[in-house]
Structures are given as structure tokens and as C-alpha cells.
Amino acid sequence: MEVLYFAWVRERIGLPRETVETQAATVADLVEELKAREERYNAAFTDLSALRVALDQELADFDARLEGVREVAFFPPMTGG
Amino acid sequence: MEVRVQVEPFDFGVEAAAFAEGHTKMGAVVTFTGIVRDVADGLDRMEIEHYPGMTEKALEAQAHAAVGRFKLGDVLVIHRHGTMRPGEMIMMVATAAPHRTDAFQGAEFLMDYLKSRAPFWKKEYTADGAEWVAAKDEDEDALSRW
């Protein structure tokens, strides 16, 4: 699946998007997989309460299931307007 | 109903006039414009990042929700991204309704949702460096009134 990062999440991880091969069942499982990879992921995902997630461009929860999802995006709370 | 996400500046007067024109059944048009505000230590520029695709979907969904809830006859949302200087217009919303209460409330509803549910992120650049703007609790709390 495609994993996208925005704002300071993108800066901490050091890239805007990547293709990830995963069997993770939920968003939280995917986060654990990413954190185990490298320190920069760990730095980005330290505090999940400071993060939001979207599945196929719709806001979702960290316990949401990933079955059938093509695009996951992680970002801080939004500051539009 | 129109939603535009763009880098280019927009002409608020032209947009507002074009929006207000031709609505013979709409007695009220309300507009709101957001402007890049200078900060205490001097803002050089603001950069706004967004999530192409999701941004348009979220704004359209919010505009549809506002139309249904406040019986609006029309909605316009323009939101810029990219680099902006203090005093530049970031975004505008316009609502048209038969009566002013719906037009005002529709605009407030749209702004409250747009602040914390449309995928934009602001970064401020001052002489001291760059910092992402933190979301405010009051913006999140504002949603509870709807």
C-alpha cells in the first residue's frame, strides 16, 4: 500500500510517501511495524495522540482495519483556514 | 457550489461580486476571508502544505453538509497553499441563503470544519527559524456546537 506523510511527520521520516509491503491488520499494527524499522519512524510516531490518520483520504482511527485500503496517510492535527 | 484549491492569489472583490450576482432567490450573502497574520517576533512568510485529493474531497463534503444543514443556495470555498506573506489572503468562503441567519451560520459552520478537518498544515517562518503551527484546542472545541 501507499503510505503518505505530511507536515512534521514528513520531515521527521524524511520522505513524503513510500510503498510499504505489509500484513498489518490495523493502522496501529502498521505503526508498530514502521517504528521497528528505524529510529526516524520511532521519532515520528512517539505520541499517537499528536497524530491523525486517513485511510483512502478519509479520516480514520488508529484501530481501523487496513483490509482493502490502498492509501494510508499520517499527519499532525490540521490547521486550515 | 464551487471548491477551489490553488497556489495563485485570488481577487476577493471579484469573487464576492461574481458569487452574489444572479441569486434572485437568495436575500443574503455572507463572506469570510482569512489573512496571513504577522506574529510577535515578525513573520517572514507562511507555507501551507496540503493533501492533494483529500483536500478537495473534504472541502466538497463540508460544503455539501453546509448546504443541507442551513438551506444554502450556493457555497464558494477558495483555499490557497504554497508560500504567502503577511497580509496576503489565504482563503475565503461565501454562502448564499434566502435569509441572513442561515448564510452567517453556514459560513461559521464551514469555517469551523475547515479549520480542523480539511488537510492543510501551516508553517511559519520568522528570523528565529521555522515552526509548524499547532492546532488549537478551541478550534477542536468549536466543532462541538454543531
Residue with cell 508553517: B123
**For B51, which residue in chain A has the nearest alpha carbon?**
A6
Give the pairing type, strands B74-80 and B89-97: antiparallel
- For the stretch B28-69, pLDDT in tens is 999 999 999 998 779 999 999 999 999 999 999 999 999 999
Q: CA B143, CA B146: separation in Å to the nearest integer?
A: 6
Amino acid B82: pLDDT: 98
CB contact under 8 A, A79 and B121: yes
Domain at B43, CATH number = 3.90.1170.40
- For the stretch B86-120, pLDDT in tens is 999 999 999 999 999 999 999 999 999 999 999 99
Predicted confidence band of residue B139 (pLDDT cuts 50, 70, 90): confident
Amino acid B74: pLDDT: 96
**For B81, which residue in chain A has the nearest alpha carbon?**
A80
Whether A7 has its CB under 8 Å from any CB of chain B: the answer is yes
Residue with cell 499547532: B134
Mean pLDDT of B79-84: 98
Q: Residue B122: which domain range?
A: 2-145
Residue B97 corresponds to which cell in the numbers above? 441563503
- The C-alpha of A79 sits at a distance from chain B's nearest C-alpha, in angstroms, of 5
Count how many domains chain B has.
1
CB contact under 8 A, A79 and B115: yes
Whether A12 has its CB under 8 Å from any CB of chain B: the answer is no
What is the spatial order of strands in the sheet that B120-126 belongs to? B82-84, B43-50, B120-126, B129-132
Q: CA B105, CA B145: separation in Å to the nearest integer?
A: 11
The domains located in chain A, with CATH, are 2-75 (3.10.20.30)
